[in-house]
Chain A
Amino acid sequence: MITPQTQQVFLRARNIYLLLILFILVFGGVFGSLKTKELLAKKAAIIENTAALTSLQETLDKNKKTLNETTESFQVNFKDFKEKIGGILPTEEKYTELTRVLDDFFDKNLKEENVIIATSLQYSTGAGFDIKSVAALPFSINLTTSRENLFKFLQFVDNSGSLENGVRLFDIRTINMTLPASAKEEITVNADLRAFYRNQQHGSTTEIPTT
């Protein structure tokens, strides 16, 4: 015969183990079933993805074929389009090209009775602009010009950036003119201009700080 106290001790010990077993079964059962469902679902998803990849590859091949056709047609019909775009909005400052364009204009319009002379030309460093992916190259120019050639120069700036002439796109920010008493005399012009180009920040199209 064992005493009641001893019996209680044995009962308590047995109950603790039984409770632990029950806890493990319940918790493990619930958690395990959820995770098992997830595992099976992911396995099924992997199989379906493999099938989807095959279908996507076919779509990619079709799109490549279509793109090749479009590119061929584009290159045939718009042969000089890219060259002109490259001249109007180049991918970098290209200030030497711009200098040649301006010099060419001044030279063409310089006449004995109608002068236009650029006495100075100064470039700053290109900087960001309001429109994303476009940068501006600031430069200033001093001119001695007749009234007629001044208007020609202003018209030249207004026409820049056209597909017809392919001239570099630029604009005038400020212009100060000292006008002579007589219309036949020469006008002194000091102008600040900007020439535009694509902002090719390597690896990003975020704006660079404006000056």
Chain B
Amino acid sequence: MPEENKKEEKKEVFSLQVKPEENNQSEKSAFSFLKNLMNKEKGGKDKTEITAGNGAQGAQGENVFTKLFKTQPAEIAKSKPVVGQSAGQSVFGPKPLFFKAQPFEKIVEQKKIRNAKILFFIIFISAAVSLGYLFLQLNSDITIFGKTIKQQFQESNDAIIALQTKINEMRFRNGLMHLMRLNFLADTLLFHPKSADNAKADEMRENMKILLDEVKKIFSVPLAVPIYSSTPRDESALEEQFKTALKDALQAKKQTLNLNDPKNEDELRTLDNLIQLTENKSLRNFIRTANFDVEDNEKLNNFLKRIRELGSDDLSLISQLKQARIKWIEIINEIENRTRMVDKIYGQGLYEEIGGIQYNSYNLNANDSSVTLNGSVKTDDSKTFSFISDLIDTLERSSMFKNVEMRSYGKSRAEKGGFSGNIELKLKLQSGSDPADENIITTTPK
């Protein structure tokens, strides 16, 4: 389309160019207005065509040109030509030369487009440079132009976290020592009360209250301090971040120490305790929220026991391990006491002569809290099985045993009279109360 327009333009541009050689219809039609004009002058009588540039015959009568120039067309043709004109050329004079010049409007439009293009590139480059600078400063780690804002921001935040972590470590070391002193005093007061008289016990309690207040102050201060962040964060997330930072710092210190060097044992133990304390949120929360300003010694003792239960320092761990330990001596004593309730002469070495109950072996197992008693019974009457049942029931009534079972009974007549049988009692260690303790009553009178 543009090419056709260009062709049309060319046609338009060159439409006025006069060519004497050509004598075609298009040229004739181009000057039809002149022809008409001339015919009108004549009154329309003479329709002889006037063609341009070929010295064609003009009207025989007068026309506008003869009037204008006072010459006949032939005379015009013979007249002196202007530049470029040869003999026998157009009535319009010598052929003008036209340059291939574009229309003025097109030039203007093209200039506008060029200006728009230049403006676009200027704005584009400016925007690219500005945004590139912002992106470089805020999102990049390229240090061609020095540290970026992103790096500086991160470094300043990291410095805050590192310094606050050191402060937290100092505070926790302080708190740990207070807790150890507290546990040491509590160990005497709670677990060895006879070693302290009343006055000493009161003094210890006062010291413990002071220590508890100190520890409470330490754990009431949050681990976190405000730091700037690109995204909004709540307090708990920040607290968790600082807790992790503290734990990582303590772990890193542990790694620098040689485990096999005895000189490091103390510091390793302390670091271990600190790490446990950092993770022990329940203990810190308990201390933070409890009110230790109590007059009641029982309440204070309960606080101390609770701290021991929740604690993760050495003394608390020792206390927890001791609490979990089974006191086998008490178990054996209870077995023997219960047996004596059924067999009055148990343990006096009179089994062979009189009879009663004799144990051959005890098997005590803390893994499944079970006890197995193997032995034999001897009765002077045939109620050996009832005797065994009495033993089972008596053991069941004990608050230390439950699920006492022996489901297979056997007896034989003894040579010297009476009956004997073997026993294999299986029972479980009881913790807490058992409803069966109160319900079973022996039916065999003794």
Please give the residue numbers on chain A whose beta carbons come within 8 Å of chain B beta carbons, in ascending order.
1-3, 5-7, 9-11, 13-14, 17-18, 20-21, 24-25, 28, 31-32, 35-36, 38-39, 42-43, 45-46, 48-50, 52-53, 56-57, 59-60, 63-64, 66-67, 70-71, 74, 77-78, 81-82, 85-86, 88-92, 131-134, 151, 154-155, 157-158, 161-164, 169, 171-179, 181-183, 196, 198, 200, 202-205
Contact B134 A49 (CB under 8 A): no
A14 CA to B116 CA, complexed, in Å: 6
The segment from B30-38, B324-332, B432-440 that touches chain A is B324-332
Contacts of B188 in A (CB 8 A): 163
The segment from B52-60, B284-292, B360-368 that touches chain A is B360-368
Contact A89 B131 (CB under 8 A): no
> Whole-angstrom distance from the CB of B174 to the nearest CB of chain A?
5
A168 CA to B140 CA, complexed, in Å: 58
Contacts of B266 in A (CB 8 A): 82, 86
A60 CA to B170 CA, complexed, in Å: 8
B16 contacts A by Cβ under 8 Å: no
Contact A134 B321 (CB under 8 A): yes
Contact B5 A6 (CB under 8 A): yes
The residue on B at minimum CB distance from A56 is B163
Contact A25 B123 (CB under 8 A): yes
The residue on A at minimum CB distance from B367 is A173
Contacts of A11 in B (CB 8 A): 109
Q: Which 9 A-B pairs have the closest CB atoms?
A: A63-B170, A49-B156, A10-B109, A17-B116, A45-B228, A154-B329, A28-B127, A35-B134, A171-B325
Contacts of B92 in A (CB 8 A): none
Contacts of A56 in B (CB 8 A): 160, 163-164, 167, 225
Contacts of A202 in B (CB 8 A): 254-255, 259
A198 CA to B137 CA, complexed, in Å: 50
Contact of A158 among B131, B178, B329 (CB under 8 A): B329
Contact of B314 among A89, A92, A177, A178 (CB under 8 A): A89
Contact B359 A179 (CB under 8 A): yes
The residue on B at minimum CB distance from A158 is B327
A60 CA to B157 CA, complexed, in Å: 17
Contacts of B110 in A (CB 8 A): 10
Interface size class of B (residues with CB under 8 A): 35 or more
Contact B367 A7 (CB under 8 A): no
Known contacts A7-B109, A151-B329; A60 and B177 CB within 8 A of each other:
no
Q: Would you call the interface of chain A mostly helix, strand, loop, or mixed? A: helix
Contact A164 B163 (CB under 8 A): no
Contacts of B113 in A (CB 8 A): 10, 13-14, 17
Q: List CB contacts (< 8 Å) of B169-203 with chain A.
A: 170-171, 173-174, 177-178, 180-181, 184, 187-188, 192, 195
The residue on A at minimum CB distance from B5 is A3
> Whole-angstrom distance from the CB of B54 to the nearest CB of chain A?
30
A44 CA to B9 CA, complexed, in Å: 66
Contact B328 A175 (CB under 8 A): yes
Contact A169 B322 (CB under 8 A): yes
A85 CA to B251 CA, complexed, in Å: 22
> Whole-angstrom distance from the CB of A159 to the nearest CB of chain B?
10
Please give the residue numbers on chain B whose beta carbons come within 8 Å of chain A beta carbons, in ascending order.
1-2, 5, 8-9, 103, 105-106, 109-110, 112-113, 116-117, 119-120, 123-124, 127, 130-131, 134-135, 137-138, 149-150, 152-153, 156-157, 159-160, 163-164, 166-167, 170-171, 173-174, 177-178, 180-181, 184, 187-188, 192, 195, 225, 227-228, 230, 251, 254-255, 259, 265-266, 268-269, 272, 275-276, 312, 314-315, 317-318, 320-322, 324-329, 332, 347, 349, 351-352, 358-367
Contacts of A67 in B (CB 8 A): 170, 173-174
Contact A131 B177 (CB under 8 A): no
Contact B362 A175 (CB under 8 A): yes
Contact A134 B317 (CB under 8 A): yes
Known contacts A13-B113, A17-B119, A74-B181; A39 and B149 CB within 8 A of each other:
yes
A204 CA to B362 CA, complexed, in Å: 42
Contact A181 B160 (CB under 8 A): no
Contact B259 A63 (CB under 8 A): no
Contact of B135 among A35, A45, A175 (CB under 8 A): A35
A78 CA to B113 CA, complexed, in Å: 92
A64 CA to B12 CA, complexed, in Å: 99
Contact A28 B131 (CB under 8 A): yes
Contact B361 A35 (CB under 8 A): no
A124 CA to B134 CA, complexed, in Å: 65
> Whole-angstrom distance from the CB of B25 to the nearest CB of chain A?
25
Known contacts A63-B174, A70-B177; A21 and B314 CB within 8 A of each other:
no
A39 CA to B373 CA, complexed, in Å: 81
Known contacts A88-B318, A133-B272, A161-B321; A14 and B177 CB within 8 A of each other:
no
The residue on A at minimum CB distance from B105 is A2
The residue on A at minimum CB distance from B361 is A178
Known contacts A28-B130, A49-B157; A172 and B328 CB within 8 A of each other:
yes
Contact A5 B2 (CB under 8 A): yes
Contact A174 B272 (CB under 8 A): no
Known contacts A9-B2, A67-B174; A43 and B318 CB within 8 A of each other:
no
30 A-B pairs with CB atoms under 8 Å apart are A3-B9, A10-B106, A10-B109, A10-B113, A14-B109, A24-B120, A24-B123, A46-B149, A48-B228, A53-B160, A53-B163, A82-B266, A85-B314, A88-B318, A89-B318, A132-B312, A133-B272, A151-B332, A169-B322, A171-B325, A173-B367, A174-B363, A174-B367, A175-B328, A176-B363, A177-B362, A179-B360, A181-B358, A196-B321, A198-B314
